Structure 1
């Protein structure tokens, strides 16, 4: 079993669903040569609800370099996704690759992408996670 499959399996255990699991095929796009890509995501059971975060750092060949997952508590999806992105950035900043490899950070929450691009748009209750 690949590291990413183990990570996804563990993330699903953090927030168990009452319905059956549905497998979704996804396609990974590699970063530019010499760069790294950190994919961060959250899972929430309800809004707000029990949530967890996770991420995977890969090189341009798709090799997994770092994996993380954590239970975050009772949050909505926006706060949980911000926590996932923040954790990914902190892990990358303390990694041996920080000074030698540019980072591409990917998340799937449109609000989080907008807020990171324009911190003045972040709701006040979430601002400390971005600024």
Structure 2
């Protein structure tokens, strides 16, 4: 099976040796997105809701570059610096998804790249 990289200028460029996403058949594995502004490559300022919206906008752009949309996302992994942000992250996620919701895990971590407070990765099925 081939592995085809997916990339778009509408989401931040990778900051390491990885692709924004990789397609394997009809499944697209989206790398974790942190709240970077794709135009500047800088972390957005603001509260956890602002950062989470930027993350989902970045993921949305990668899904669209893969020929899909957030509606095709079947799994989401959320990494937060502080689980007390859980309710606000949930509220923002509800702006981008509707039932039936993707499967999900939420994990508190000790650190994220560039001092971000949230990172999200996803699995998209297209076709």
Q: Shorter-chain-normalised TM-score: which range?
A: 0.3 to 0.5
More helix by share: 1
Larger Rg: 1
Q: Structure 1 length as normaliser, TM-score?
A: 0.34
The answer to which structure, 1 or 2, has the higher relative contact order (CA under 8 A, 6+ apart) is 2
